[in-house]
Structure 1
Amino acid sequence: MSFNPLEQRGIPLDRQVRTWRELDVAPIDPDRCDPYTRCRIIAMNGIEIEAILFSHQMARHCPDLEVKRELARTRYVEAQQQKAVNWLLPGVASVLETTIAYEQVAVDLTAWVARMEPDPYLTQAYQFGVLEDFDHLYRYANLYEMIEHRKAEEIVQGLTEVMPGRPTEYHHRNPADNVREPYDRTRADPISKLHALTIMAAEQQTMNFYMNVGPQYMEPIARQLYQEIGLIEEEHVTHYESLVDPGETWWERLVVHEYNECYLYHSFMEQEPDPKVKAVWELHLNMELEHLRIAGDLMRRNDGREPEEVVGRELPNVLTFEPNKQYVRELLATQMDLTTLGTGYVREAHERFEAMQAQLNNGDQPPSKRVMARHREMFGREYRLETEGEHPAPSQRSRD
């Protein structure tokens, strides 16, 4: 049965503020939870943080005090939602365990979006990014075994493979080459708008997470790897945010943000096996339906348009966390040696790329490469988790 959130009434806003006791959610058990439950939590935390940051930015550009008050009322509830979602993560998990889960989110969320995206240009943007997140997972998995003497398999549980992607050292590009062409707001499929916002929000939260947790390690190699990959996440946010049409009005953006939250909470509620977590998704969906109604009313009053003109009338098929191993392997076999030039992609290491590499490395090996050398010194091998078949032979450039 189709579900149109624009026709649904959620919990009235004045009944959405929760008590401290209600916000004190029970965290998941990291040793027994479905890995994709953890992924859904991490993804929704990023979505909620993007909603809060966007609302603040909109308020800073809005002269209407009543609109600012409306945004503030909704934003406070969004902030409570973010706390409830993020606090589902267990305090016993180490920073590196959570990091590996973040990269599992990046791989399987971006791969799924790439598979479902109807616009070929946007599809290529997601395919390009996923091979880099895939390699980040591999580097962090080796660091995890070095520092904590545990294997990433305990976290990803075979749902996502751990092996080399496009080598992290080749992710550092001239900033000008991280900017893509945006979709056209007047012609883009509504699902393309949701995809772009979702991946941008997820990468933004990963960037913020690494910026804050990297210095918490004492081991120099760990601090250095977080610095390197944290800079690449900044590149990824630039890459994905540039896909969004800058001509969208603030009211359009507000509606798309609220609609996307409805879409994702509905999707995750449909597939969540943990009843306690599913109850959170269901509660938040019913809150977001009201937030969407408010955003739609603001669009009608201030933009003279109906929200259906921007997001359509029915939710797309649910977004699903699922293994994407064969899809990623196909990308590894065909797109490993891509880099960017202008708003497009090339296979040659061009002048701007090489100049950036020389300036950044200055004759030294980057941390991502030194992690692998250190791991081989300690264990006589590198850590990999390949669950089926053979990994395609890497090109010469892909060797770390």
Structure 2
Amino acid sequence: MTKEQFDGYTYIEGGVCAAKGFLANGLNCGINPDKKKNDLGMIYSEKECTAAAVYTQNKVKGAPILVTKENLIKSGQKAKAVVVNSKNANTCNANGVEVATKVCELTAKELGIKTEEVIVASTGVIGQPMSVEPFAKGIPEIVKGLSAEGHEEAAKAIMTTDTVKKEVAVSFEIQGKTCHLGGMAKGSGMIHPNMATTLNFVTTDVAISGALVQKALSEIVKVTYNCLSVDGDTSTNDMVSVMANGMAGNEMIETENAEYEIFKKALYIVMSNMTKMLAADGEGASKLLECTCSGAKDLQTAITVAKNVIGSSLLKCAMFGEDANWGRVLCAIGYADAEFDIMKVNVDLVSSAGTIAVCRNGAGVEFSEEFASKVLAQDEIHIHVDLQDGQVSAKAWGCDLTYDYVKINGDYRS
């Protein structure tokens, strides 16, 4: 996956430990019977953080989401730790809230912090019985191993059907101070727009108010994770959280000034890259799909059209088959809940092999099927849609729909 470069921002290693004062770790505590796979992860900040989060819009919500929401209200948007498990979603369990609360209490006790300063999250199978016992065993052990090098073990702990861990971090300057912002993400299936999408944890050493962290997160989610679709299913446990501990030493950002915009851009860079990683690693995927809708009269129109294209199962199948069936793009655009003139729409298919124009002013144009096959044979396909109706653009991300997707989800619990 190609990372877009931005002036003033440098990609660095470290994930959630790239920012000063953050430690992490991951291990197997017994939830996953495969002892070689981590199933418990933790992130810890040496200093108190301002914190913000966004959650799934599914009416069915995992118990950890309910507990995290309550904790952030009680703490006044403050947090010092994240504890997360994989393999069991702790969703639709009669004792789910009780278990998630106890996990927070165990974490707080071991770290010497308040229970409400813990963000708790889970991912995995829905409706499976959940016990506190693995956490009681694993949390003391994971705390002992917390380190600035533990980000990879933490990132591996949240993987379910993911084939690769997903981490991104950048460095940048605010008020002459070197700042860092990094994140880790998980997600491969049950991914569809309308926040959140999967589990995503972001850390930074920028000093910024909780209100502005929440505002930046809510706005950037709209143009990153909410523009991601793998299979049309919105998970019950989706969450994105951001923790900012201020250890970079900049003056507290409390207004939407130039420093706020620098922070917001860093957050966008990390979240957009993790979004692309999630799309590329969709269950069974062989191709990353990116749709750019330009020439829109407003942002909502651009987002809606791009998301419709990426969300089309027929288009996903065509991309898997490397078939330039551009009519499926027009079909998906046509049922978008937005106002535009379909007779102005242009469509191009683009990859590292070149660009092929397939539609101009709402009608097909001649093209070489042989060249189209070469363009679509690449593992990253860009679909460019120009509405020719304004100056606004937006992107959406997804993947192709393959035979392996059905195989994976046909026996997901086994």
User: Relative CO higher for 1 or 2, CA cutoff 8 Å, sep ≥ 6?
Assistant: 1
* Larger proportion of helix: 1
* Larger proportion of strand: 2
- TM-score, normalised on structure 1? 0.25
